[in-house]
């Protein structure tokens, strides 16, 4: 290919979404994409181990190693920039993305959120808390969303969403697993493939499919 999309994947935990991306690249269902680095804020994240097993550079930038949040934010941005990537992928990354990063990568950062935005999203809604809230409200359908990151929390242009059924007897843990398997592990790789192949653009704050004929 003439163009390879270079991505940095930012993680905090188990890294099952990272694994889905690696698998789809290896299978060839995600094309024109190369993972240049996996970056974690937590040195014990199993996601780092997954990266190493596939010979992907894996590094930790921890807020614990810096005096202030501002310093950490700067170092995180510097680290990402050192890999010269086209896209930053937040795959279970629990770090609040600073403004300086959004400004450095406008519509070049994507995030996976485990609900159908605008439900159960924003400050305080992450990981299991999202599924606890969905069960507490008694919704019958939930799902996952991949979106571009802007300077709000879970407010950027939506790329893909997939619905998942809630079942009688679900616990937050059971629901989290179903949402990952049926939605997250599918739409995250799909979104990367769309971007790598120039199939989407942001217009008026919304994601649209690019019609190649428009360019003529
Ligand atoms: C995923 O369910 C992801 O949607 C969620 O954290 C989990 C990470 O799992 N992200 C958020 O809640 C972001 N606000 P993983 O490390 O196995 O990919």
Task: Tell me the residue ranges of DSSP E strands in 109-190.
Answer: 109-113, 141-148, 158-165
Pocket residue to mutate for ligand 1, from 40, 112, 183, 189, most atoms within 8 A of Cβ: 112
Q: How many helices (H) and strands (E) does the chain have?
A: 7, 9
Query: Exposure of 86 by Cβ count < 10 A (0-12 exposed, 13-18 middle, 19+ buried)?
Result: middle
Catalytic amino acids? 113
> Contact, 207 vs 159, CB < 8 A?
yes
Three-state DSSP class for residue 115 = coil
Residue nearest to atom 3 of ligand 1 (CA): 92
| Ligand 1 site, CB within 6 A | 11, 13-17, 47, 91-92, 112-114, 126-127, 130, 180, 184
Three-state DSSP class for residue 181 = helix
The DSSP H or E segment spanning 6 is: strand 5-11
pLDDT by 10s per residue, the chain, length 216:
678 999 999 999 999 999 999 999 999 999 999 999 999 999 999 999 999 999 999 999 999 999 999 999 999 999 999 999 999 999 999 999 999 999 999 999 999 999 999 999 999 999 999 999 999 999 999 999 999 999 999 999 999 999 999 999 999 999 999 999 999 999 999 999 999 999 999 999 999 999 876 655
Measure 127 CA to ligand 1 centroid, in angstroms: 5
- Residue 213 DSSP class: G
Measure 211 CA to ligand 1 centroid, in angstroms: 32
7: tokens are: 């991505």
b (16+ CB within 10 A) / e for 149-181:
bbeebbbbbbbbbbebebeeebebeebbebbbe
Residue nearest to atom 8 of ligand 1 (CA): 92
204: tokens are: 């008026």
Contacts of 207 (CB under 8 A, 6+ apart): 148, 157, 158, 159, 200, 201
Measure 114 CA to ligand 1 centroid, in angstroms: 7
Among all chains, which residue has been given the structure tokens 């163009």?
A: 3
């Amino acid at each position: 290919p003439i163009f390879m999309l270079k991505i940095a994947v930012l993680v905090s935990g188990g890294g099952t979404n990272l694994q889905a991306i690696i698998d789809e690249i290896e299978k060839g269902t995600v094309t024109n994409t190369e993972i240049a680095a996996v970056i974690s804020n937590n040195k014990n994240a199993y996601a780092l181990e997954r990266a190493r097993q596939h010979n992907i550079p894996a590094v930790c930038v921890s807020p614990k190693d810096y005096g202030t949040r501002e310093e950490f934010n700067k170092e995180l941005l510097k680290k990402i920039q050192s890999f010269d990537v086209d896209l930053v992928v937040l795959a279970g990354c629990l770090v609040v993305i600073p403004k300086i990063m959004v400004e450095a990568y406008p519509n070049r950062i994507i995030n996976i959120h485990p609900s159908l935005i605008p439900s159960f999203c924003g400050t305080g809604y992450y990981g299991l808390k999202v599924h606890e809230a969905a069960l507490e409200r008694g919704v019958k359908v939930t799902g996952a969303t991949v979106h571009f990151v802007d300077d709000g929390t879970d407010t950027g242009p939506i790329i893909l969403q997939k619905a998942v059924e809630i079942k009688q007897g679900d616990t937050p843990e059971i629901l989290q697993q179903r949402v990952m398997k049926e939605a997250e592990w599918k739409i995250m790789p799909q979104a990367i493939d769309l971007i790598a192949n120039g199939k989407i653009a942001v217009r008026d704050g919304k994601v649209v499919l690019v019609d190649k004929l428009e360019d003529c």
